Amino acid sequence: MTETAWARRVTDGVEPKNVIIAVLPLVGGLRYGWSGLGWAAFAALFAAVVPTWFIRRGMRRGRWEDRHVGQRKRRLVVIPFIMLSVLTSFAVMLRLDAPADMTAMVLAMFASLVPIMVITVWWKISIHTAVASGAVACLAIALGPWWLLLYPLVAVIGWSRVVLRDHTRAQTLAGAAVGALTAGLTFWSAR
């Protein structure tokens, strides 16, 4: 298999929605059992499933070319929609008294999208590395420092984005930094 083929598998396999769908049940299930898994499914609906539906709908209508929304200006349409979806989940979770770590995870997702949106106005920051890095930071805070051993996966994701020429190294590093700092600090302070 070629380097590009491996990079495509990594990019598609650990795209943001897949990371979200994996991390939410980990935190929910390990911290709160079945109740946490239910809240994880609810949060994933708004943070991964609804955004995926919106992106696919846009692809069918010709608004963007692929599920990674490679054109920076097109992301300026997608990111606000995702922010609204995540914020809706957060509001419902607050109202229904969801477990603290689950609500904090969703708030961390929203908080990470704020600088990503601002930066995307001028520059194509990597959302792949931002989500993965933020997820690792939140896992380490919620479940223990051993989860930091997943950070090499963030580097592999960054490598894949650079090999595919979807991002520069700087864009992947910036995404990883924004994700870790914003999601990590928000999650830590909100739990």
DSSP string computed for 69-97: --SHHHHHHHHHHHHHHHHHHHHHHHHTT
Structure token pair of residue 58: 């846009």
pLDDT at 76: 96
Query: Residue 1: pLDDT above 90?
Result: no
Name the domain count of the chain.
Answer: 1
Does residue 40 contact residue 102 with C-beta atoms inside 8 Å? yes
User: Which domain, by its residues, includes 83?
Assistant: 3-190
Structure token pair of residue 18: 């897949």
* Model confidence, pTM: 0.95
> 122-160, pLDDT tens digit by residue?
999 999 999 999 999 999 999 999 999 999 999 999 999
| Residue listed under structure tokens 């390990």 | 30
Q: At what angle do helices 16-44 and 72-95 cross, to 10 degrees?
A: 30
